[in-house]
Amino acid sequence: MSEFASVLRSWRDRVRPEEVGLPAGAGRRTSGLRREELAALAGVSVDYVIRLEQGRATNPSPQMLGALATALRLSVEERDHLFRVAGAAAPSRQVVPRHVTPGVQRIVDRLGDVPLAVFTATHDIVLWNDLWAALNGDPEQYAGIERNLVWRHFMHGHDGVAWDDTHQEEFSSDLAADLRAAVGRYPADRGLAELVARLRRESPEFERRWETGRIAEHRASRKTVTTPVGPIEIDCDVLSVPGGDLRIVVYTAVPGTEDAAKLDLLRVTGLQELSPTVTPR
């Protein structure tokens, strides 16, 4: 058995179903994930997982390896080992990190009572919980560049979000400045370069802010979001993940207020049409 097949099987066996939001159930032959469960989490076929574990599938793509690493809750070091033994180069430190570490995944799992999402340094959404989807719309309906917050802000606006002109200007300026800082940190990331080029070409508002040369990070704000249970005023805080350059965005309402009561109601009514589990995207 190859090293790749060996570690893939070993890491699948060590992930408990409850760690990924699945019921442990009775009568399981293994305490870890079944092949079909790993396949569902990684977005591949069960047959492909079987062929990988038997060494019959070769040269998995970097995208596939990244999906497997996230589904298996691998550390950065383990993810890099998985890439190398698969014959692929480990992700460069000069490109934007997208790997969701086990610790970040646990934070999302545990904080299901507040809307929460994880973004990359370029504001691509990579993970969210059901309450985030109920409040903001389900990101699952978008793909590619449409999952990028900066792109959607400048190209589509923020329907259902109310803030004053001053906040609008500050938020827009911060997003452009934050993206410029990312360009400096990740000069080899072609996706980031293409995103900036398209925004500069297609959004005069982004170009105006880009030309200022400002460097900054967006950390906190307050806004009102229109929801099925009425408008909710929320505080938005952005937490940094050391080492991985991910951002955890958390929405909260002041306890004891009508807004907090509406958020509680949304937690009950707004999730009925959504999946009951949180999975990596």
Give the span between the Cα atoms of 54 and 52, in whole angstroms: 5
167, 223 Cβ separation under 8 angstroms? yes
Distance of CA 18 to the CA centre of its chain: 20
> What does the pLDDT read at residue 160?
65
List, in order, residues 6 or more apart from 4 with CB less than 8 Å away.
52, 55, 82, 85, 86
Confidence tier at 218 by pLDDT (50, 70, 90) = low
Q: What angle do helix axes 3-14 and 76-85 make, rounded to 10 degrees?
A: 150
Give the span between the Cα atoms of 248 and 101, in whole angstroms: 12
> What does the pLDDT read at residue 206?
94
Inform me whether the pLDDT recorded for 87 exceeds 80: yes
Torsion angle of C-alpha atoms 91, 123, 135, 234, degrees rounded to 10? 130
Render pLDDT for 121-179 as a digit per residue (tens, 0 to 9): 999 999 999 899 888 888 988 889 999 999 999 998 776 676 666 677 788 888 999 99
Residue 261: DSSP 8-state: H
Least trusted range by pLDDT, from 14-28, 49-63, 81-95: 14-28
Q: Which two tokens stand for residue 40?
A: 């569902």
CATH code: domain 102-269 is 3.30.450.180
Inform me whether the pLDDT recorded for 272 exceeds 90: no
> What does the pLDDT read at residue 94?
85
Phi-psi region of 153 (alpha: psi -120 to 50; beta: other; left: phi over 0): alpha
> What does the pLDDT read at residue 223?
84
Q: In the predicted model, what is the mean pLDDT of residues 188-207?
A: 95
Give the span between the Cα atoms of 116 and 40, in whole angstroms: 22
Confidence tier at 255 by pLDDT (50, 70, 90) = very high
Geometric angle at alpha carbon 77, from 72 and 82, rounded to 5°: 55
Instruction: Provide the residue ranges of all domains of the chain, joining segments of one domain with +.
Output: 3-85, 102-269
> What does the pLDDT read at residue 215?
84
> What does the pLDDT read at residue 55?
82
Torsion angle of C-alpha atoms 192, 197, 203, 205, degrees rounded to 10? 80
List, in order, residues 6 or more apart from 247 with CB less than 8 Å away.
118, 119, 120, 121, 123, 238, 239, 240, 241
Q: At 128, is the secondary structure helix, strand, or coil?
A: strand
Q: CATH assignment of 3-85, given 3.30.460.30, 1.20.120.1080, 3.40.50.2300, 1.10.260.40?
A: 1.10.260.40
> What does the pLDDT read at residue 258?
94
Confidence tier at 192 by pLDDT (50, 70, 90) = very high
Q: How many CB atoms lie within 10 A of CB 141?
A: 9
Task: Put the strands of the sheet holding 161-162 in their side by side order.
Answer: 125-128, 116-119, 246-252, 232-241, 220-225, 161-162
Please report which residue ranges of the chain form alpha helices under DSSP H: 3-14, 35-42, 46-53, 62-71, 76-85, 102-110, 130-136, 149-156, 165-185, 190-202, 204-210, 258-269
Residue 279 burial (C-beta neighbours within 10 Å; 0-12, 13-18, 19+): middle
